[in-house]
Structures are given as structure tokens and as C-alpha cells.
Structure 1
Amino acid sequence: MRRLYPLPAPAPARPDPAGPPPGPDAATDREWTLDELADAYAYPAEDDPLRAGRPGWLRANMVASLDGAAHHEGRSQPLSGAADMRIFGVLRALADAVVVGAETVRQEGYRPARARAAFAARRAAAGQGPAPAVAVVTAGLGLDFTLPLFTEPLVPTLVVTGAGAPAERVAAARDAGVEVLFAGEGQGVDPARVPAVLAAHGHRRLLTEGGPSLLGQFAAAGVLDEMCLSLAPVVALGDAPRIMDGPSVAVPERFVLASVLEEAGFLFTRYRRS
């Protein structure tokens, strides 16, 4: 892996030409350590001006093919690769909660996030639990609460829904040990309220993995702070959607480029709201 943007400052010349050569810098093509990736993708500090007036920080992580497909035959895994999965794992390990739509839970066979020893000290220093919670955004709670995501989580799984959600499904979720949070007055979820509702329960470093409909709703509501997009060097064709599928906006929102990494033809881009 190497950093394409921003490039590091040139290393100073060695004071002793006979001394050891400098170590590899971020522009050198090599496998980065997990700590290096975690530093590169660290969330902005709570006092960072980027977060002024916002309850937390909502980051998205998606992969797309060269022709813009968000998945192949319903799953994102065929578009992924080894480096993409490393970054996927790092982004999860940095988050307080992983926010995902119910359809993506069903399509991708979501399981609970796991604790990883490599990040234990970092999470403890940040005041985080051993693993991120998974927060499922759903209107009708059409979920199988006997699945491991709900029965075997290290950190209790959350369901985010509207106050008008079916009462019997809310009761079924609670009977299964799921914490139900309400973000909206009707049956559906108000995407603009999701970050604040999760932040009120201690989840301020948020990572959403979609799917495209949920991500589009977050973007249209103006609450998406950062987009981590992996561009895969493949052509998928077919009728797969784009990474976002949401309502039209009056004026396209501009994001600014924060960083670009490259490995094995994959481009790992990171954009922040301007």
C-alpha cells in the first residue's frame, strides 16, 4: 500500500551518509500495519472544528466497481480484496457503532462485530467497549431475532426505528434482548435524527456500511460527514445500483478529498464534507 494523496514531506537528508538508511515512508509500496491504517483513518477529535455543531461523526464505507456497481449479484464481497478487507476491519475497529440498513443485514448475512486484540488498547484509551455495536435501521422490524447478530453479540445490537413502528415487532425485539431506539415520529426513520439519537446513547464515532438506500438517505439529509470509497479494479456490469440510492437534492453537495491510498490496483479514497 502507498499513499498517493497527500504525499508526505520529503525526508531530511541523513546527517551521516554512512549511517542506516531511513525507514520506508507512506509513499513506499508496502503492507501497512494495522496501527498505521488506524492512524490514517482516525476520527476527528471532539474539539476539532470539523465537528462543530454536530453530535458525532458519521462516516460511510462502501466499495464500487469501475462501472459504478455497489455489488455483484446482491453482495459486495465479489468487489472486495485483501487490502479492502483490512481497511474494512480497521474502520469497524475505530467505530462506536456500525449503522446498517435492514435489507443489507439480510443480504450480507450480518453477524456481530468481534473484539480484536490488535485494537484493544486503542479502544480502551478512547473509552470504547471491546467491539462496536451494530445498529440496524428499519421501519417494520422485519428481522429474524434468532440470528447470531441478535443472540450472540459481544455488545448488544441496537435497532433504530420510528415511534410508529409495529408494537408487536418492537416487543419481539426487546424480548430478544435488543435495545430499540426511536428516531422519527412515524413508522419510518428520520435519517437526519439518527446520528443524534445514537450519540445520546454514547455512540459518537459512527460508521455506516449502507446499503445504498440508507446511505442515500443520510446524504440527502445532510448528516453524512465522511465518505470512504474503495474503487475496485473490476467491471461488474448488470443492474446493480450505485453506492447511493436516495431522493434528489436541489444542489449537489461538495465534499473535499482528504486522502487516497493504493494497493493492488484498488484506490481507497476518503472525502469529507466541505
Structure 2
Amino acid sequence: MRMLLPLDRDLDDAQLAARYAYPEDLGAPFVRVCFVASADGAVSSGGRSEGLSSPADRRVFRLLRRLADVILVGAGTARAEDYRGARRPTTGRDTPPPIAVVTGSARLDPAGRLFTDTRVPPIVLTLAAAPAERRDRLTAAGADVVALDRLTPDAVLGELGRRGLHRVLCEGGPTLLGELVAADAVDELCLTVAPLLVGGRAGRIATGPDGEHLHRLELADVLQEDGVLLLRYRRDIRATPIE
């Protein structure tokens, strides 16, 4: 056991970006998940994750977006958080990463900020069985609507990979993360722990299919600012399967 704190070394933006850089020469989607939770495990306060955020969390959040090719999010989170398009260009490109929304029903508001306040068209990943009139309204609002036969992680990531969008940043919600965990499709988890106790009935960061789906991670990085912990875990490729 080793003591990690106290430390006294500030990181500038370039050093922080180097720590969070994606692997080079990716030939397939690499899924990084970004969440914030309270010290007692709540994923939201007042129904939104914004209530748990902090300057340190927002700094890393913005950085992770700039490093990503695409931001993947479930429709429930996009609606609850009133998503809009990313503002800053992806590193090495002139445009921000698109928001890719997973929705089986295509139930999104074409007048929402996701479609009206964005520099790049959102990608809507839905089912071919979703109502055609909903899909048509989203297309008319400027979305790049993709109708898939299934919305399993392999199908969703396969579509992103086909587009060359390999640096994937998943911002939730818990159901989407639960499905990615069940499919063993999470390569990295960036978890901010806010120094707050929330209590109540707030959920956890992942809720998915019945049964446990254990996948071992290794701790890759620990940062702290004003009591906020910023943890980065990555897939432990050395670990034997957990039965």
C-alpha cells in the first residue's frame, strides 16, 4: 500500500492532454466512458449530473471532448441534460466531434438544442423499426439518421468504426453504460468523485442487463483538486477472466 497524497505538482493543459491521450493508430473504436458521481455513489443531484460538477471536473470534461472523434450518449441522458452540440474542435480537426445519440424509438425533439444549437449534424442511431415519421422529422431537422437492425454495442460501435470515428467518448447514461459493460466494450473509465453526500434515490453510473458482468480494470491515473478526485481506469489486459 502506498500513499498518493499529498502531492504538489500542477498540470498545465498540454500535460493534462498528454495524460488523457487516446492510443495511437487505432483501427477500431476505443471506448472511453466519462462520468461524475458523489462520494456515496450518486450519479446525479436534482436529477442532473451538473449538480455534482466542479471546475476540475469541467476542465477534464472539456478536454475529453476535444480529444474525441465522437461523443456517444443515450437518448434519456440527451433529453435530461438538454444536450447541444459540442463547441470546440476535435484536436487536429476544424470541427467539433458530433454527438451520436442511441435511441430505439427515435423519440427526440427536432426543435431541441441537439439539432438547433450545433456546428455539426448529430448522428441519430435508431432502429429500422422506429416510426418512420419520427425518423423523417429528425432528418428534416438536419440529423444524420442511421436505422440499424439492432442497437447492441457491437452494432453501434461498428457503425461508428465504419465512419472512421475511433476515439469514442461515451457520456452515458447509466443504461447505455450498463449495456457496454455487459458486452465488455469499455476500454477506459474516467470517473470524477465529487466530495459530496447526496443520499436519496439517485442511481448509480451503470444499470444494465440482469446478472453481474465482471471485468477487471487497472488504475491508470489519479488527480485531485479541491477535494475532487479524478480517476482514470483502463481495461486490464493482463487479468485472467473473472468467473
TM-score by length of 1: 0.80
Match of 1:41 among 20, 34, 37: 20
Taking only the aligned residue pairs, the percentage that are identical comes to 43
Structure 2 gaps of 5+ residues are 237-243
The one of 237, 257, 265 aligned to 2:219: 257
Given that residues 181 and 213 in structure 2 are in contact (C-alpha distance below 8 angstroms), is that contact kept between their aligned partners in structure 1?
no
One-letter amino acid of the structure 1 residue matched with residue 104 of structure 2: A
Mapped partners of 1:246, 1:42: distance in 2: 28
How far apart, in 2, do the equivalents of 1:219 and 1:240 lie? 20
| 2:132 pairs with 1:132 | no
- Equivalent residue runs for 1:223-238 within 5 Å: 223-238=185-200
- For 2:132 and 2:155, the matched residues in 1 are separated by 21
The 5-angstrom pairing of residues 1-274 of structure 1 reads: 4=4, 27-30=7-10, 32-46=11-25, 55-115=28-88, 123-124=91-92, 128-183=93-148, 185-186=149-150, 189-249=151-211, 251-274=213-236
Alpha-carbon distance in 2 for matches of 1:151, 1:250: 40
Gaps (5+ residues) in structure 1? Answer: 6-26, 48-53
Which whole-Å CA distance do the structure 1 matches of 2:130 and 2:204 have between them?
28
Q: Residue 82 of structure 2 contacts residue 113 of structure 2 at CA under 8 Å; is this kept in 1? A: no
**Residue 72 of structure 2: SS of its match in structure 1?**
strand
SS state of the match for residue 105, structure 1? helix
Partner SS, residue 131 of structure 1: coil
4+ aligned runs moved over 3 Å, structure 1: 248-251
Supply the distance in 2 between the matched residues of 1:204 and 1:254 (Cα, whole angstroms): 23
Give deviations 1:229-259, integer Å, cap 9, x for gaps. Answer: 0011110111011000111345511111111
Do the aligned residues in 1 keep the contact of 2:182 with 2:213 (CA within 8 Å)?
no
Q: Check conservation: 2:31, 2:170, Cα contact below 8 A.
A: yes
Q: Compared with structure 1, are the counterparts of its residues 172 and 103 closer, same or farther at alpha carbon in structure 2 (3 Å cutoff)?
A: same
Task: Report the alpha carbon displacement of residue 60 of structure 1 after superposing the two structures with TM.
Answer: 0.4
Q: Residues of 1 paired with 2:206 and 2:69: CA distance?
A: 23
Q: Give secondary structure in 1 for the equivalent of 2:135.
A: helix
C-alpha spacing 1:79/1:251, structure 2 compared with 1 (3 Å): closer
Does the Cα contact within 8 Å between 2:77 and 2:172 map onto a contact in 1? yes
Considering only CA atoms, is the larger Rg found in Structure 1 or Structure 2? 1
RMSD value over aligned CA atoms?
A: 1.8
Contact 2:36/2:49 (<8 A) preserved? yes
Under a length normalisation based on structure 2, what TM-score does the superposition of the two structures give? 0.89
Matches of 1:208 and 1:129, distance apart in 2:
21
Alignment partner, residue 15 of structure 1: none
Distance 1:39 1:203 in 2: 20
- CA shift, 1:99, in A, is 0.6
Paired residue secondary structure (2:100): strand
